[in-house]
Amino acid sequence: MTRNRRTRIWPLHVATAIAVAAGLCGSPACEAAPALERPAPPLVVMTLDGARFDLSAKHGQVVIVNFWATWCPPCRDEMPLLDTYLAKHRAQGLTVIGLSVDRRRDRNDVIAVMKTFTYSAGLVDGAKANGFGPPQALPITYVVDRAGMLRAALLPGKGALTEAALDEVVLPLLASQGSGADQSRDQRPPDPDP
């Protein structure tokens, strides 16, 4: 019998306790997660290769923001999927940033893991601005639309991250070229030419 390594899904209270023990948040309650259907919180971080990643400068692109850690097996399991997904959709305007919650002293471990992936990564510990706050669970993946609106939070309690789950959220946003609003919700016919 094969064992799915992602079968251990931590309830929020357990994940919060782990986050407290790991120093990811200051209190057992942790900060509230960012609200969906609102502007994405600020995020400015230096990537491992020394580039500056500023989420507000990514308007016009769909951005996947993934919080992970080297010591988190479910995080490591989904990283190849994120890399493949980026390769498949980069030309459509997709960007992925991985934010490791590892401590600065573990930076070399993070770099070693990221050597096999093409998407950018940085350390949460070194973020100049992180309005997302400490993650309440790991891995957690946020999706930001072309207009900078936070559209989805893919949590570990929903099961392993899959291409189908990403497709459901990301593909409509990639298809949307206008203001970033989800055009699939607006089914009005186009205005006739005058």
> 14 pLDDT exceeds 70?
no
Task: Kindly tell me the burial class for residue 72, based on how many C-beta atoms sit within 10 Å of its own C-beta (0-12, 13-18, 19 or more).
Answer: buried
Tokens read off for 11: 């309830």
Condensed to tens digits (0 to 9), the pLDDT of residues 88-118 reads 999 999 999 999 999 999 999 999 999 999 9
In 3D space, the residue among 22, 7, 32 whose CA is nearest the CA of residue 69 turns out to be: 22
15/71: higher pLDDT: 71
63/156: higher pLDDT: 63
Long-range CB contacts for residues 84-93, cutoff 8 Å, separation at least 24: 84/163, 85/163, 85/166, 85/170, 86/118, 86/119, 87/118, 89/170, 89/174, 92/62, 92/174, 93/60, 93/61, 93/62, 93/146, 93/174
Task: With 0.95 as the threshold, say if the pTM is over it.
Answer: no
Q: What is the CATH number of domain 12-176?
A: 3.40.30.10
Condensed to tens digits (0 to 9), the pLDDT of residues 108-144 reads 999 999 999 999 999 999 899 999 998 988 999 999 9
- Give the Cα separation of 26 and 189 in Å (integer): 50
Q: What are the structural domain ranges in the chain?
A: 12-176
Condensed to tens digits (0 to 9), the pLDDT of residues 24-65 reads 444 334 456 788 889 999 999 999 999 999 999 999 999 999
